[in-house]
Amino acid sequence: MPERVTEDWCFSHGRVEPDDENTYRVCLECSHVFQTEADLIRDHNAELAEVRVRQPGAPVLPDATSGEEIWTCPHCIHDF
Ligand SMILES: [Zn+2]
């Protein structure tokens, strides 16, 4: 971790993640940068797949096909 935490610091991954005008979404809690909508959908669906493995039979949302369906950060679970 750098000596001073900057606003680009992602607390979910422990690294600097710069965003720019083309960034799709930034989590306001952990500051993870989803550079594209596809990045968000991939990480969200990966988390759902992990839940299906960890908790077989538990009710799990279907995979998202659009970023508009995703309301929480897949890394820190905070609402967007
Ligand atoms: Zn987050």
- Per-residue pLDDT of 10-46, as tens digits, reads 999 999 999 999 999 999 999 999 999 999 999 999 9
Q: 50 C-alpha vs ligand 1 centroid, how far in Å?
A: 17
CA–CA distance, 77 with 80 (Å, rounded to integer): 9
Q: Under a CB-based contact definition with an 8 Å cutoff, are residues 14 and 7 in contact?
A: no
Residue 56 Cα to ligand 1 middle (Å): 25
pLDDT, tens digit (0-9, with 9 covering 90-100), for 43-58: 999 999 999 999 999 9
| Residue 15 bridge partners (DSSP) | 10
Rounded-to-integer distance, Cα 71 and Cα 14, Å: 23
The amino acid that residue 58 corresponds to is A
Alpha helices in the chain (DSSP H): 37-54
Cα of 36 vs centre of ligand 1, distance in Å, is 15
pLDDT above 90: percentage of residues in the chain: 88
